[in-house]
A and B are shown apart, each in its own frame.
Chain A
Amino acid sequence: DSGVTQTPKHLITATGQRVTLRCSPRSGDLSVYWYQQSLDQGLQFLIQYYNGEERAKGNILERFSAQQFPDLHSELNLSSLELGDSALYFCASSVEGWGTGELFFGEGSRLTVL
């Protein structure tokens, strides 16, 4: 158990809909990272937050948005869903936002868009 909690574990929805994925980082971790992993694909970095502020942005679509709240949990919002958005979405946390601490990954949220 990494200590990172992601909900929901599984989600099935239809095209055009909107969903919210939630991530609770490990206690004390200030940084949250979001990744997308499509079937048989690598981990695509989406976005990083540090202590409530956006720190780095990757290939995140405009239809996607994220935020980190004062209690440090984070949410990833996916809107106008398309079939191609079906993927595993991972959240990771670390104590800080640079390379001296390991990332702890959650078990992911599997999104299926029908």
Chain B
Amino acid sequence: DAKTTQPPSMDCAEGRAANLPCNHSTISGNEYVYWYRQIHSQGPQYIIHGLKNNETNEMASLIITEDRKSSTLILPHATLRDTAVYYCIVRVAILMKTSYDKVIFGPGTSLSVIP
């Protein structure tokens, strides 16, 4: 089962910031938070990931709470092309070859960017 919970759907006005929340209250200290998105039926696309510090790249920002039990993905200026299903997942970060990594996706949040 997925270790994260997300709202099933959200709307955002074009040009505004889209803030997508994710709850991962059972996250372990050795697990990363990853965000992916899937546009229509294309292969999921990596967006960003973080361990405990806030992260920013050219696509988005990731804000992780101090207790690491939740995070928010921020798309600063949403466009129509950002309409997609956004997945928040946790992944083990132990650098051991004996680790396994099921990478379980939950239902995600369906983001609709409205003109």
Closest-by-CB residue of B relative to A99 is B91
Bound CA span A56–B31, Å: 17
Chain B residues within 8 Å of chain A by Cβ, number:
31
Chain A CB within 8 A of B104 CB: yes
Would you call B106 and A99 a contact (CB within 8 A)?
Answer: no
* Pair count A-B, CB < 8 A: 82
Q: Which residues of A contact B93 (CB under 8 A)?
A: 98-100
Chain A residues within 8 Å of chain B by Cβ, number:
30
Chain A CB within 8 A of B107 CB: yes
Would you call B34 and A102 a contact (CB within 8 A)?
Answer: yes
Closest-by-CB residue of B relative to A6 is B43
* Residue positions of B touching A, CB distance < 8 A: 31-32, 34, 36, 38, 41-46, 49, 87, 90-97, 99-108
* Among all A-B residue pairs, the 5 with the closest Cβ atoms: A99-B91, A105-B43, A56-B100, A43-B105, A102-B46
